[in-house]
Structure 1
Amino acid sequence: MLLSAETLANIKEATQNVASTRRPWRVFLDLFALTLPSSVSEATTRLAHNVTYFLFNYAVLLFLIFLLTLFPNPLPLLLFLLLSAAWYFIYFSRDDFPLAILPLAFLTVVALLATAAWLNLLLAVLIEALVVFLHGVLRSTDGLIGDDQDSPYGHMLGDTPASGAYVPV
């Protein structure tokens, strides 16, 4: 099966859209930006902002942790690498999204159950939750410039009418 020009254009455009949401790893891993929050309120604000800001980085980490948990078992590792490639191709190249995704989702669930990799996925999610919590709370948001509108509190921080003036409710 040869890829059409439209399919390749869809894949390229979607890849660029996803890549535009990623943050540089040097910013994500900046050790000098790690500080203790001064209050629980600041910790929750940091966590919410960092999860929003670094969502792509956290997703990549989850995928890598999942693959690392599968490393001792080569068959499930290979199977999920192939499934990941299929997800990437189908997700980014199809317009009839639900029709293409449903069989692949079913196949992924069957693969998780048949290879007992759901335990690995559960372990990866638990490790990732700990990583996201620690990074999100400890990573200062001071150096994250220009992304106030991406923050869950962006409407309170920006230059929108709701941030500086009374707005009728």
Structure 2
Amino acid sequence: MSKYGTIPSSSTPPPEGSSTLDFISRAKARGASALATRRPWRELADPRALSVPRGLADAYRRARANLAHFASNYAILVLGVIFLSLLWHPVSLLVFLACMVAWLFLYFLRDEPLVLCGRAAGEGVVLAVLSVLTLVLLLLTGATANILTSLLVGLVLVLLHAVLHRAADSIDAEAGRWYTPVPPST
């Protein structure tokens, strides 16, 4: 699921005085584009698509397909669970909000591959590095038990959904993988 190249970048420098407005308009456009790449929440929460897998191989296939298909939704879900758990820890909440800004600019609002030392970093690498960095910074704030518990709750929710959400046997053209949500019954 590639989201690169959705917003053309300008090669000419902006006129003086309009850089702030240009930045805001680019951020709004990228935000709309990033939200367009996530899957609809209705598709994620469809109760008709839930069923128990037939075996370990079926559970693995479902988890793999759903983790790829709903990656942005799952990231938002886990971050939301962590955010809710930090409401009673103001310092941790401020650190979390700073990390969310990093998530927005480096993962959700990017329209080009992230290049570090002349090499392009894939989405999986960016997701892993941001996850670890967020976790380490939050653990340094002193709310370790709260953060680890909320992270565990978020991951369990994601894995349960990934295993229980049934996928139809057709290919998702955008992701290039075998996945399509179960069509609603009429």
* TM-score category, normalised to shorter length: 0.5 to 0.7
Aligned residues: 147
1:5-35: CA deviation from partner (whole Å, max 9, x where unpaired): 5433542443234222211111111112111
Match in the other structure for 2:37? 21
Equivalence map 1:16-165=2 (5 Å)? 16-85=32-101, 87-88=103-104, 92=109, 111-142=137-168, 147=172, 150=175, 152=177
Cα 1:123–1:16 change in 2 (3 A) is same
Answer yes or no: is the 8 Å Cα contact 1:62–1:128 preserved in 2: yes
Percent identity of paired positions between Structure 1 and Structure 2: 31
Distance across 1 between alignment mates of 2:176 and 2:63: 10
The structure that is helix-richer by fraction is 1
Cα RMSD (Å) of the superposition?
Answer: 3.7
Instruction: Using structure 1 for the length normalisation, give the TM-score.
Output: 0.65
Distance across 1 between alignment mates of 2:37 and 2:73: 9
Answer yes or no: is the 8 Å Cα contact 1:53–1:151 preserved in 2: no
> What SS class does the counterpart of residue 150 from structure 1 fall into?
coil
Query: What stretches of structure 2 of length at least 5 have no aligned partner?
Result: 1-16, 118-129, 180-186
**Structure whose CA Rg is larger:** 1
Cα 1:34–1:45 change in 2 (3 A) is same
Cα 1:6–1:51 change in 2 (3 A) is same
